[in-house]
């Protein structure tokens, strides 16, 4: 088959890196980058680090409002699809790139394959929720990562073309995890970031979602990070450029022991999660990576599309923007007296196994669903 794959953000590049070798071994892929994460710090370095092929088409549609960005992608994708005449268009996840790819294909009568189908936070205020619902209802193939995702699709009347495949992001994490297990990886990262890092001696944080860029929300989560940080246990905050700009406009303080750094390479991010005392995030991808690595994780959201990760008594917990709850859960999950020992044990015993998602997806694409 000839397949046009549409990506645009860092998480989508991670998934594409896991799928692309198997996809190209069986099918003819045309690779399109919408440019949703358009600068070098957000996405550029990922192509070389993850061994991704150079895009066949680059739309440069980053920035702007949701409507403007999606419109630019639709306008850019339509002539590509007319020219390439693919048998299917493959989209990943829940971004504006996902929505644009699915819409452009469906309007031209081209079958859509949706990777990470069926995820639901059940919060329609989230742009990501709207994108994934629309993509799922347009898809010919719905590649679900979990049984819960399959059940969500069934509840919406979607059964044809649904395949439980596993998680591509876990496949890539399993592929490279051996490279970040040794605590010595922190030495080079420390030198580069200018922050002394030791196993269990810091927290790793990422914040990027739209709802967490409102002034009140930024003040709340910045307060959580400031309260969690200390001179002997700093917070390393890998900050999306848009979030950084919003904080600067609102005059939100980051706290004296919160080290703000640019978005990080894939392996660096995995290493910092694995060896941290705990992870603090609003990212769906980082939630999963932390869970696979066994790192305690505070999720700065009130709902998640990955409910399997936040069950009672687990290592990952939804805390919203409640500082008191966040501090209580941090003490429960990562008591200061034991974080160094826990981090070293976690790294020494890490053993990730691929979910087999890439092969399952490639095999399913070989024919249209019955």
The pTM assigned to this predicted structure is 0.92
pLDDT given for residue 53 in this prediction = 93
Task: Return averaged pLDDT per consecutive 10 residues of the chain, 370 residues in all.
Answer: 95 95 97 80 70 93 89 97 98 97 98 98 94 98 98 98 97 96 97 95 94 94 97 94 88 92 93 98 94 96 90 83 97 95 97 96 93
Quick one: pLDDT at residue 240?
Answer: 83
The domain spans of the chain are: 2-167+355-364, 175-349
* Active site annotation includes 27: no
Residues 303, 122: Cα–Cα separation, whole Å: 8
Q: What is the pLDDT of residue 206?
A: 96
Distance, in Å, from the CA atom of 212 to the CA atom of 221, rounded to the nearest integer, reads: 8
Residue 255 CB partners (closer than 8 Å, separation 6+): 222, 225, 226, 229, 235
3-state SS of 98-158 is HHHHHHHHHHCCCCEEEECCCCCCCCCCCHHHHHHHHHHHHCCEEEECCHHHHHHHHHCCC
Record: fold of 175-349: Rossmann fold (3.40.50)
Domains 2-167+355-364 and 175-349 share a fold: yes
Residue 110 and residue 118: Cα distance in Å, rounded? 20
User: Cβ(121)–Cβ(156) under 8 Å?
Assistant: no
For domain 2-167+355-364, give the CATH number: 3.40.50.2000
In 3D, which of 85, 84, 12, 87 has the Cα closest to residue 52?
A: 12
Catalytic residue selected from 27, 114, 208, 257? 208
């Amino acid at each position: 088959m000839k397949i046009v794959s549409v990506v645009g953000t860092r998480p989508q590049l991670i998934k594409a890196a896991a799928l692309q070798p198997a996809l190209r071994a069986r099918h003819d892929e045309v690779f399109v980058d919408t440019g949703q994460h358009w600068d070098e710090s957000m996405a550029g370095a990922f192509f070389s680090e993850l061994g991704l092929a150079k895009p066949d088409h680059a739309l440069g549609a980053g920035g702007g409002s949701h409507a403007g960005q999606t419109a630019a992608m639709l306008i850019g994708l339509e002539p590509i699809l007319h020219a390439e005449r693919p048998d299917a268009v493959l989209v990943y996840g829940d971004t504006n790139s996902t929505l644009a790819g699915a819409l452009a294909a469906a309007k031209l009568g081209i079958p859509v394959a949706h990777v990470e189908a069926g995820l639901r936070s059940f919060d329609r205020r989230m742009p990501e929720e709207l994108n994934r619902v629309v993509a799922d209802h347009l898809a010919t193939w719905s590649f679900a990562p979990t049984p819960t995702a399959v059940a969500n699709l069934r509840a919406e009347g979607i059964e044809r073309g649904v395949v439980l495949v596993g998680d591509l992001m876990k496949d890539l994490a399993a592929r490279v995890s051996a490279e970040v297990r040794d605590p010595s990886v922190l030495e080079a990262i420390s030198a580069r970031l200018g922050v002394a890092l030791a196993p269990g001696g810091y927290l790793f944080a990422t914040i990027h979602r739209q709802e967490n860029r409102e002034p009140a929300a930024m003040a709340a989560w910045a307060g959580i990070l400031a309260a969690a940080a200390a001179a002997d246990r700093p917070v390393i905050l890998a900050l999306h450029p848009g979030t950084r700009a919003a904080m600067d406009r609102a005059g939100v303080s980051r706290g004296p022991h919160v080290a703000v750094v640019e978005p990080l390479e894939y392996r660096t991010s995995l290493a910092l999660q694995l060896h941290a005392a705990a992870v603090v995030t609003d990212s769906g991808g980082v939630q999963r990576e932390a869970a696979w690595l066994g790192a305690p994780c505070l999720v700065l959201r009130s709902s998640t599309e990955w409910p399997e990760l936040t069950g009672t008594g687990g290592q990952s917990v939804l805390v919203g923007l409640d500082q008191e709850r966040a501090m209580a859960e941090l003490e429960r999950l990562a008591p200061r007296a034991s974080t160094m020992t826990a981090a070293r044990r976690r790294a020494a015993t890490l053993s990730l196994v691929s979910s087999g998602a890439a092969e399952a997806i490639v095999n399913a694409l070989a024919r249209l669903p019955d």
